[in-house]
Amino acid sequence: MNIYIKYDEEITRGDELTIPETCDKSLELLQKEFLKWMFDKDVDHKYWKVINDVKVYCEYDSTAFVDWLNSNVFIQGEKASVLKKDIETDNKDFEVLYF
């Protein structure tokens, strides 16, 4: 399935992703699990902005979500991918996740 990732409800642009339909979890649950992982300071990942050896905040985009999906959900078989970045999100058939 194709979905849009957007960063603000007021902005009409976003990223288009394709997600395998083999997962029995909802997109909202996947997003919740991703965000929990992303902001868990016990988890070391490349998205942390570290200042003076302290994890301060995360810098991420739709690619981070896809990387997490492919490492934690779609480990074997089909993979999620970013199809297009910064495009008009005008296909009303696509679900939208806001980050």
Q: Give pTM, 2 decimals.
A: 0.92
The list of the chain residues with pLDDT below 50 reads none
Q: What is the pLDDT of residue 9?
A: 87
Tokens coding 32: 């919740």
The residue to which tokens 């988890």 are assigned: 43
Q: What's residue 33's pLDDT?
A: 97
- What is residue 23's predicted lDDT score, i.e. its pLDDT? 86
Q: In this structure, what token pair is assigned to residue 21? A: 């339909």
Alpha-carbon gap, residue 8 to 22, rounded angstroms = 28
pLDDT of residue 24: 87
The pLDDT value recorded for residue 31 is 96
For residue range 35-54, list pLDDT tens digits in order.
Answer: 999 999 999 999 999 999 99
DSSP H or E run through 18: strand 13-18
Q: How many residues make up the chain in this entry? A: 99
Decide: 60 and 38 in contact? Cβ < 8 Å: yes
